[in-house]
């Protein structure tokens, strides 16, 4: 690894690749994230109703998703927007897991909620606004559940790796990193998808890396293209928002795919996933150099 990266990431030695550890695979039920299979996590931004969640779970599973996402505790920009169903939402997610067989990933916003969220969820999501909430990182780590750590919207790659290091330091090696876009001067998209962060993270860290094209784009028209870019960039998976009727969604409808668009996007990913499969476990930076001779 370059000396300049070694210097930048020196505070996170445990997340960096080493002779002993080239790739971490995170086990979730019968799945391995970072183990070669491209893993899509999909579902609504917020858990709204039993019907909405079940219909979405069944649809995304049929299209090849392996985890169901859905927020029960929602970090909303406005205090007057729907804040999530809380524990009732977790119970709906657990019923959806039972019916669909999909593992559940859902956000936890406060260390006080970690025990209850960990009781129902298979993966704890730490959102962009909480990436540097160390009390939460510590409590989530101690729960023993795998953690999906989203990049802070104003965080550097070094900041993200430092937060991952905090989780590892509290005895939990099962961290999945997520690039979800960062704030820049560009306002036409909701965030700026930092696509370079994906091969960089794959190059320097042994942790699995996924991308969230929904929050990066903010607009559903852009989501499939960003998803394909994430595959080609070497991501181990995706987190995508899907809703039966996005225009009526209680949160993030503008960036949510409807069922037909999700199905089409999943089909469109296949050739790109097939291209990367033989080299998944290797280093994407090296691979792309080798590909051009
Ligand atoms: C979400 O996944 O719905 C979410 C709130 O994500 P982020 O923390 O990336 O904004
Ligand atoms: Mn959302």
User: Given this model, what pLDDT does residue 283 score?
Assistant: 61
Q: How many CB atoms lie within 10 A of CB 259?
A: 19
Q: Which of 56, 180, 210, 251 to mutate to test the pocket of ligand 1 (most atoms within 8 A of CB)?
A: 180
Mean pLDDT (whole number) for 170-193: 98
Is the pTM for the entire model greater than 0.85? yes
Q: Cα(18) to centroid of ligand 1, in Å?
A: 31
Give the pairing of strands 103-107 and 67-69: parallel
CA-wise closest residue to 281 among 31, 39, 64, 24: 24
User: Given this model, what pLDDT does residue 289 score?
Assistant: 45
User: Given this model, what pLDDT does residue 131 score?
Assistant: 98
Is residue 172, in this structure, part of any structural domain at all?
A: yes
* 3 state SS of 46: strand
The H-assigned helical ranges of the chain are 3-8, 50-62, 87-100, 114-120, 134-142, 157-169, 197-204, 213-217, 223-233, 259-276, 284-291
Is residue 197, in this structure, part of any structural domain at all?
A: yes
Measured by CA distance, the residue closest to atom 8 of ligand 1 is: 127
Q: Which of 73, 75, 176, 182 to mutate to test the pocket of ligand 1 (most atoms within 8 A of CB)?
A: 75
Q: Cα(71) to centroid of ligand 1, in Å?
A: 9
Q: How many domains does the chain have?
A: 1
Answer for the pair 54, 96: CB distance below 8 angstroms, yes or no: yes
Secondary element (H or E) of residue 147 = strand 147-150
- The boundaries of the domain holding residue 170 are 38-276
**Atom in ligand 1 nearest the alpha carbon of residue 69:** 2
Q: Cα(2) to centroid of ligand 1, in Å?
A: 32
Is residue 255, in this structure, part of any structural domain at all?
A: yes
Q: pLDDT tens digit string along 95-129?
A: 999 999 999 999 999 999 999 999 999 999 999 99
Mean pLDDT (whole number) for 167-192: 98
Answer for the pair 60, 42: CB distance below 8 angstroms, yes or no: yes
Is residue 67, in this structure, part of any structural domain at all?
A: yes
Mean pLDDT (whole number) for 229-248: 98
**Atom in ligand 1 nearest the alpha carbon of residue 128:** 8
As for ligand 1, residues whose beta carbon falls within 6 Å of it are 45, 71, 75, 127-128, 150, 180, 212, 215
Spatial distance between the Cα atoms of 36 and 39, rounded to a whole number of angstroms: 9
Q: Cα(127) to centroid of ligand 1, in Å?
A: 5
Q: pLDDT tens digit string along 44-73?
A: 999 999 999 999 999 999 999 999 999 999
Answer for the pair 92, 85: CB distance below 8 angstroms, yes or no: yes
Ligand found nearest the CA of 243: 2
Q: Cα(215) to centroid of ligand 2, in Å?
A: 6
Is residue 29, in this structure, part of any structural domain at all?
A: no
Is residue 64, in this structure, part of any structural domain at all?
A: yes
Q: pLDDT tens digit string along 22-33?
A: 999 999 999 999
pLDDT band at 77 (very low <50, low <70, confident <90, very high): confident
**CATH assignment of the domain containing 122:** 3.20.20.70
Spatial distance between the Cα atoms of 15 and 83, rounded to a whole number of angstroms: 33
Q: Both ends of the chain: CA-CA distance in Å?
A: 20
For 100-121, b/e burial (b = at least 16 CB within 10 A) is bebbbbbbbbebebbeebbebb
Q: How many CB atoms lie within 10 A of CB 52?
A: 21
Q: What proportion of the chain, given as a percentage, has pLDDT over 70?
A: 94
Mean pLDDT (whole number) for 262-276: 96
Is residue 12, in this structure, part of any structural domain at all?
A: no
pLDDT band at 276 (very low <50, low <70, confident <90, very high): confident
pLDDT band at 277 (very low <50, low <70, confident <90, very high): low
Spatial distance between the Cα atoms of 252 and 257, rounded to a whole number of angstroms: 10
User: Given this model, what pLDDT does residue 286 score?
Assistant: 52
User: Given this model, what pLDDT does residue 278 score?
Assistant: 58
Q: Cα(170) to centroid of ligand 2, in Å?
A: 28
User: Given this model, what pLDDT does residue 284 score?
Assistant: 56
Is residue 13, in this structure, part of any structural domain at all?
A: no
Q: Cα(251) to centroid of ligand 1, in Å?
A: 10
Q: Which of 42, 43, 45 to mutate to test the pocket of ligand 1 (most atoms within 8 A of CB)?
A: 45
């Amino acid at each position: 690894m370059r000396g300049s990266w070694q210097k930048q990431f020196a505070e996170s030695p445990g997340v960096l690749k080493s002779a002993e550890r080239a790739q971490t695979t995170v086990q979730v039920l019968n799945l391995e994230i970072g183990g070669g299979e491209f893993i899509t996590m999909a579902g609504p931004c917020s858990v709204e109703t039993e019907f909405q969640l079940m219909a979405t779970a069944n649809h995304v599973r049929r299209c090849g998703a392996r985890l169901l996402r859905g927020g029960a505790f929602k970090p909303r920009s406005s205090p007057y927007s729907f804040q999530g169903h809380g524990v009732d939402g977790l119970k709906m997610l657990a019923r959806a897991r039972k019916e669909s067989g999909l593992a559940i990933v859902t956000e936890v916003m406060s260390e006080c909620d970690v025990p209850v969220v960990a009781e129902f969820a298979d993966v704890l999501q730490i959102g962009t606004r909480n990436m540097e909430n160390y009390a939460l990182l510590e409590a989530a780590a101690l729960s023993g559940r795998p953690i999906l750590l989203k990049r802070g919207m104003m965080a550097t790659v070094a900041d993200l790796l430092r937060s991952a290091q905090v989780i590892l330091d509290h005895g939990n090696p099962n961290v999945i990193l997520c690039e979800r876009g960062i704030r820049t001067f560009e306002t036409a998209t909701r965030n700026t998808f930092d696509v370079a962060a994906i091969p960089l993270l794959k190059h320097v860290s042994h942790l699995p890396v996924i991308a969230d094209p929904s929050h990066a784009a903010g607009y559903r028209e852009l989501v499939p293209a960003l998803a394909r870019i994430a595959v080609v960039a070497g991501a181990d998976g995706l987190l995508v928002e899907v809703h039966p009727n996005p225009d009526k969604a209680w949160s993030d409808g503008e960036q949510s795919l409807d069922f037909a668009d999700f199905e089409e996007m999943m089909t469109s990913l296949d050739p790109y996933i097939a291209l990367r499969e033989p080299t998944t476990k290797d280093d994407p930076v090296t691979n792309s150099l080798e590909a051009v001779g």
